[in-house]
């Protein structure tokens, strides 16, 4: 743990796992103090009181405050300075998370299920409305060598610029009929965003080119600190086509296999089984998932499609 080069995403994940280990798994006092020592000194410089942290991180922050009460804010934490009673108090701070664990897990799964339902309905509306659609999937993240510079506020800013460009439908987003995105935090990838773009194939072709250009735009927005993974390269598409699971590229409404594959591929954005991927630090009121709107004035024949699909119009 001492040799790790921390970034906000990896550090909050490590703290989250440490708190859960203290709560639910055996841990020696020596291991507890060693881990606490490393995580305390790594987290203290990046702690931001205005952020909204997960409950595990909140418990750790309380533990950190007790440490500073015991040894002083300006002094380095020394294992020899803590007596048995102080160590017990620190452990109790983290053990406070126990009753919150199942509630937190349930809330996150329910949130993913709700997002999954809204995304599924949105995609079904689009697929019922258009005879053909061009599906593009791009995963956006940050290069390893820059992740120590990236915090959640920077991610929010970068993603906000991208979503604004998508909403304006300019340049690479011309011909866009729908979109969805999900922001996550992983132990290895750090902060990353799954992006689904759905184009009108009469206005846009070459899905591999669109995916690449959106990825290049992400790199531009992030000042070359961002990286991307395209699901629309010929190699990736050939692999999934061979498996009978190709869900990107040109999707025909009358081809049930293509529609099913497209829906399955898109549902990865909001998979309740992807545990431990939710954000552990957020800017207040920050969204981590979003979709476009189907029922909009510029889209013709919406009422008929909604009636055919059994949905109500927002204008009713």
Domain assignments of the chain as residue spans, ordered by start: 8-96, 109-309
- For the cut 90, the answer to whether the pLDDT of residue 247 exceeds it is yes
The pLDDT value given to residue 2: 46
Q: Residue 5 pLDDT more than 90?
A: no
Distance spanning both ends of the chain, measured CA to CA = 57
% the chain with pLDDT above 90? 78
What is the per-residue pLDDT for 73? Answer: 64
The whole-number pLDDT of residue 295 equals 87
pLDDT at 132 over 50: yes
Angle (CA) 38-41-44 rounded to 5° is 140
- pTM greater than 0.85 (yes/no): yes
Instruction: Identify the pLDDT of residue 265.
Output: 93
| Contact predicate 228/209, CB 8 Å | no
CATH fold of the domain at 109-309: Alpha-Beta Plaits (3.30.70)
Question: What are the φ/ψ torsions at residue 218 (nearest 5 degrees)?
Answer: -60, -40
Tens digit of pLDDT for each residue in 84-125? 999 999 999 999 999 999 999 899 889 988 999 999 999 999
Max alpha carbon distance in the chain (Å)? Answer: 73
pLDDT at 185 over 90: yes
Contacts of 146 (CB under 8 A, 6+ apart): 225
Residue 315 confidence class, pLDDT cut points 50, 70, 90: low
């Amino acid at each position: 743990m001492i040799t790790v080069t921390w970034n906000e995403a990896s550090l909050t994940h490590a703290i989250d796992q440490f708190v859960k280990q203290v709560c639910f798994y055996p841990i020696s006092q020596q291991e507890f103090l060693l881990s606490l020592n490393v995580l305390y000194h790594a987290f203290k410089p990046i702690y931001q009181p205005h952020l909204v942290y997960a409950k595990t991180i909140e418990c750790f922050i309380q533990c950190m405050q007790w440490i500073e009460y015991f040894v002083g804010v300006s002094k380095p934490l020394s294992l020899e300075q803590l007596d048995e009673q102080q160590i017990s108090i620190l452990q109790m701070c983290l053990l406070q998370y126990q009753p919150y664990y199942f509630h937190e897990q349930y809330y996150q799964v329910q949130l993913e299920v709700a997002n999954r339902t809204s995304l599924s309905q949105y995609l079904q509306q689009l697929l019922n409305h258009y005879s053909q659609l061009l599906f593009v999937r791009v995963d956006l993240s940050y290069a390893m060598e820059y992740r120590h510079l990236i915090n959640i506020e920077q991610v929010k800013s970068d993603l906000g610029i991208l979503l604004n460009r998508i909403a304006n439908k300019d340049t690479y987003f011309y011909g866009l009929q729908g979109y969805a995105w999900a922001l996550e935090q992983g132990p290895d990838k750090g902060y990353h965003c799954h992006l689904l773009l759905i184009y009108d194939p009469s206005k846009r072709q070459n899905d591999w080119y669109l995916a690449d250009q959106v990825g290049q735009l992400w790199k531009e927005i992030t000042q070359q600190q961002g990286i991307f993974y395209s699901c629309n390269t010929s190699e990736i598409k050939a692999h999934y086509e061979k498996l009978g699971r190709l869900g990107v590229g040109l999707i025909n409404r009358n081809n049930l296999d293509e529609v099913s594959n497209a829906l399955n591929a898109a549902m990865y954005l909001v998979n309740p089984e992807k545990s431990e991927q939710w954000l552990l630090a957020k800017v207040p009121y920050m969204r981590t998932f979003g979709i476009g709107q189907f029922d909009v004035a510029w889209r013709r024949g919406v009422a008929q499609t909604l009636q055919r699909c059994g949905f109500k119009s927002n204008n009713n």
